[in-house]
Structure 1
């Protein structure tokens, strides 16, 4: 799932009957990490320094008729493509009225938005160790993950009480018929379609979040998945997810995962486990752990660990330790 940074510092607030605002938020991380043998720099299984900084501009306004509109751009992801309107470069724009919202750009597919992930408890790590292991499913396999797709998604959401309905489209090869030399796929469709329905409610003190969704690219692959999480009094949270992926150009596989989270006062932690069962065997699995301690004022101490069992029989792990800063 894509990260969203919430605005904290107002730069502009204006005027007339309608209103508009531009805000700035920042996020930074520092510490040490070991990426393992298979991540980023294969073979470099050494402890390294880790620094990262992210800056987001968020713009919002309201028209005279009550139509809400806005945009944000993540400068960490805004490379040259953001100058091309046909490519996503870290920006997302929306218009909203009542329970209906239409979003375009760097946003999630309906599948990714609706189906809960298993990194629970509100804990994270500077190097995302708890979500990059071989058993984790972030629901975003097709969100810019198909060769030739531009990552630019259009999604419509409608929310009514605790129900949310979503539908999305992502173009492959800028909407043209896929060129196999560019897209790496043969005779596939030109649009990745996705639909989903979610439900959130507080039932007798249990904070329930459930969702089911479907995603497809014609003659390439389709996937459906469901997930549910439940939060309890005392800061405990549990969840489970299942998905089934049918590949036209490769083997089919299933995924299942479970998660556990706990949060109380300044402490939060999460543990998750997942497994991919492939049609041809040689399954992949892994687990991740994250522990956070909130030092106040936007400063959080974070530790993370991830362990993977790979399809080729090897195993690998990663860890990180550091500070996360929100501005």
Structure 2
């Protein structure tokens, strides 16, 4: 992450210059994507670039705005073109343990629930088919978070699908294990959802599980996820299993990463979805900056 200091007001040299901190950070990955059904491979590339400006009022309120640019494509689609790049923003204000966020951010359900293990943040991860609810409301989600110690609560509203959510998250250090638990409820047009999740870290070894269900069984009829992961000396290996009652579908992923230093790592994974009708493998290099 690189921090840049921008003067917000141009004044004479002897006067005080008002300034705000701007950080530039990002992540990128490239590699091969293998389709086990068609027996074909393509080259994939992905990037996420973040510009975040922060300032603090005299009253101690911290204000920030993040502008994100992201792209994903194959060698044939040339995803680096401007027309292939998606942009989104998040605005937030916080004071003490209270934070308000608006924009391309998680709803309370996503914020509170604990995800199972996977390779995160490279857009190559094999994560569809039986995962939990992801509220996509045209990048216009409002959320209020309150955190005190190891306890946090979130409330959100998304106007596009008239969705209201609430979630709680709690972490505890039990000595032999660090445990994180999350529970959430979301009501939107046509259905209500609820979920429970937990993760336990035993040093280098970690396990996680979650379950989500809804009142309208024709829309969403239950999903559970379980996973395990081991990390030591720069090497991480893990696996997850996803099951969706609604689609009568299950799938799994096995994955591994190895750190190269400097924020870079190599990764490889293989997964099957929809009872084995979809088979995908990816491998490549990812790095953050």
TM-score, reference length from structure 1: 0.76
The Cα shift of 1:91 comes to 0.6
Superposed CA RMSD: 2.5
Which of the numbers 174, 197, 206 marks the counterpart of 1:203?
Answer: 174
Which of the numbers 214, 226, 230 marks the counterpart of 1:245?
Answer: 214
Length, aligned pairs only? 271
> In the aligned structure 2, how far is the partner of 1:160 from the partner of 1:19?
31
8 A Cα contact 1:127 1:320, kept in partner: no
* Equivalent residue number for residue 185 of structure 2: 214
Which of the numbers 203, 219, 224 marks the counterpart of 1:256?
Answer: 224
SS across alignment from 2:40: coil
Looking at secondary structure, tell me which structure has more strand per residue.
Answer: 2
> In the aligned structure 2, how far is the partner of 1:130 from the partner of 1:207?
27
Superposed, 1:63-142 pairs within 5 Å as 63-76=57-70, 89-119=87-117, 123-124=119-120, 126-132=122-128, 134-135=129-130, 137-140=131-134
Which of the numbers 128, 150, 160 marks the counterpart of 1:162?
Answer: 150
Runs (5+) with no aligned partner, structure 2 = 9-15, 72-81
Runs (5+) with no aligned partner, structure 1 = 1-7, 38-43, 83-87, 173-189
> In the aligned structure 2, how far is the partner of 1:323 from the partner of 1:138?
27
8 A Cα contact 1:255 1:274, kept in partner: yes
8 A Cα contact 1:125 1:302, kept in partner: no
Superposed, 1:15-54 pairs within 5 Å as 20-35=20-35, 45-54=39-48
TM-score, reference length from structure 2: 0.86
The Cα shift of 1:129 comes to 3.5
> In the aligned structure 2, how far is the partner of 1:324 from the partner of 1:171?
35
Q: Give the direction of change, closer, same or farther, for the CA distance of 1:31–1:99 in structure 2 (3 Å limit).
A: same
Superposed, 1:216-231 pairs within 5 Å as 216-218=187-189, 220-231=190-201
> In the aligned structure 2, how far is the partner of 1:275 from the partner of 1:56?
34
